[in-house]
A = this chain, B = another copy of it.
Amino acid sequence: MVRICNQINYQLQDYLQGLVNSQPHLKQVDQSPILYCLPKAGQIPIISGGGSGHEPAHAGFVGQGMLTAAVSGPIFVPPSSQDILTAIRHLDQGQGVFLIIKNFEADLQAFSQAIKEARSEGRQVKYVVSHDDISVETSTFQVRHRGLAGTILLHKILGQASLEGASLDQLEELGLAITSQTATIGFATKPPHLPGQDQPLFDLPDHCISYGIGIHGEDGYRTVPFQSSENLAIEIVNKLKLAFRWQEGEDFILLVNNLGTSTDLEQTIFLNDLIQLLQLEGLNLPFIKNGRYMTSLDMAGISVTLCRLADQKWLDYLTAPCQAQAW
């Protein structure tokens, strides 16, 4: 299997350089894995980040109206607390910074350490933890609550709110409100492979799909033979319905995320089944986004994020134009 790269150890560096060389609004902090754009004077910078292997997350979402900076780590490994701290120091204009963190143990550790150190320097730092995953651990049936593609809605809504002048406290409140209304679940039709390895990260028999997979090669809660796109949509909508216990007539934001290498043809066929089922449930979908946002290397599959539209203002933030190339 060919993986286009030069040296595996330089993948992240080459990737970040490719972004900086092709997008004039992006800047890199020295040789670090930190990409940023210039914040508006007085704006609270929004910083996020995580391991690489999820492209375009997170660096592709840097731009006015979305992330001010993204800090990247190696494949599936969060950035170091030192790099996160460097980003905070670089972007803080004196009014503090706001962080968006995905709910994984290693990410929380690195970000917490950086927050602790930044605060000890007298900086104001607030954050939100995205935990939109509603899949279950197969052995315990516990909901996993990892941070998945729902995180991208936080990037966009908080990014626009900060551009429009939201304070640190307002960003925290808004972030909490969104995370409590956001749920994501997906499926894989092909497992991912680490670069340079021909063995997949989990076993998935040919012609089978796995429901509830993660974005780091974690397998799902159930593996079954593929039947049809409609069938996939039924399972996903049922799980989302259990999570939301929605009422007819409610407004939801829908984000359908390609987990890597499904084709646009497949994704849009699935989207069609999904929309029909959600409309049958009587839901309104005033904002639909269908693309690649948070992938898992070469995994094939799709995740579905719904966010209950608790405040119509969120729609304005979502639909505002922004500079980030991957939105």
- Residue among A14, A55, A267 with max Cβ neighbours from chain B (10 Å): A14
| A73 in the interface (beta carbon within 8 A) | no
**Which residues of chain A from 286 to 308 have any CB-CB distance to chain B below 8 Å in the complex?**
288, 290, 292, 295, 297-298, 300, 302
Given contacts A60-B264, A292-B264, contact A5 B272 (CB under 8 A): no
**Which residues of chain A from 1 to 35 have any CB-CB distance to chain B below 8 Å in the complex?**
1-6, 11, 14-15, 17-19, 21-23
| A206 in the interface (beta carbon within 8 A) | yes
| A143 in the interface (beta carbon within 8 A) | no
**Which residues of chain A from 190 to 215 have any CB-CB distance to chain B below 8 Å in the complex?**
190, 206-209
Which residue of B is nearest A59, CB measured?
Answer: B268
Which residue of B is nearest A187, CB measured?
Answer: B4
> In the complex, what distance in Å separates the CA atom of A268 from the CA atom of B300?
19
| A52 in the interface (beta carbon within 8 A) | yes
CB contact between A4 and one of B4, B17, B52, B229 (< 8 Å): that residue: B229
Interface residues on A, range: 35 or more
Chain B residues near A228 (CB-CB < 8 A): 5-6
Is B6 within 8 A of A230, CB to CB?
A: yes
Is B56 within 8 A of A18, CB to CB?
A: no
| A244 in the interface (beta carbon within 8 A) | no
| A53 in the interface (beta carbon within 8 A) | yes
Chain B residues near A300 (CB-CB < 8 A): 2, 261
| A321 in the interface (beta carbon within 8 A) | yes
- Residue among A5, A288, A300 with max Cβ neighbours from chain B (10 Å): A5
Is A265 within 8 A of B15, CB to CB?
A: yes
The digit string for A264-281, where 1 denotes a CB below 8 A from any CB of B, is 111111111101100000
> In the complex, what distance in Å separates the CA atom of A283 from the CA atom of B165?
40
> In the complex, what distance in Å separates the CA atom of A56 from the CA atom of B11?
27
CB contact between A263 and one of B266, B290, B295, B325 (< 8 Å): that residue: B295
| A65 in the interface (beta carbon within 8 A) | no
Given contacts A209-B2, A261-B261, A298-B261, contact A19 B273 (CB under 8 A): no
Chain B residues near A17 (CB-CB < 8 A): 272
CB contact between A208 and one of B2, B18, B52, B53 (< 8 Å): that residue: B2
Chain B residues near A260 (CB-CB < 8 A): 261, 263
Which residue of B is nearest A254, CB measured?
Answer: B22
| A262 in the interface (beta carbon within 8 A) | yes
Is B273 within 8 A of A6, CB to CB?
A: yes
Is B56 within 8 A of A269, CB to CB?
A: no
Is B4 within 8 A of A266, CB to CB?
A: yes
User: A4-B266, A18-B270, A18-B272 provided; 5 other pairs, C-beta below 8 A?
Assistant: A2-B300, A4-B189, A4-B302, A6-B273, A14-B268
**13 chain-A/chain-B pairs, Cβ below 8 angstroms:** A1-B190, A4-B269, A5-B266, A6-B269, A14-B269, A14-B272, A14-B273, A17-B272, A18-B275, A21-B275, A22-B275, A22-B288, A264-B295
Q: Which 8 A-B pairs give the minimum distances between C-beta atoms?
A: A18-B272, A55-B264, A4-B266, A2-B189, A18-B268, A261-B261, A22-B288, A14-B269
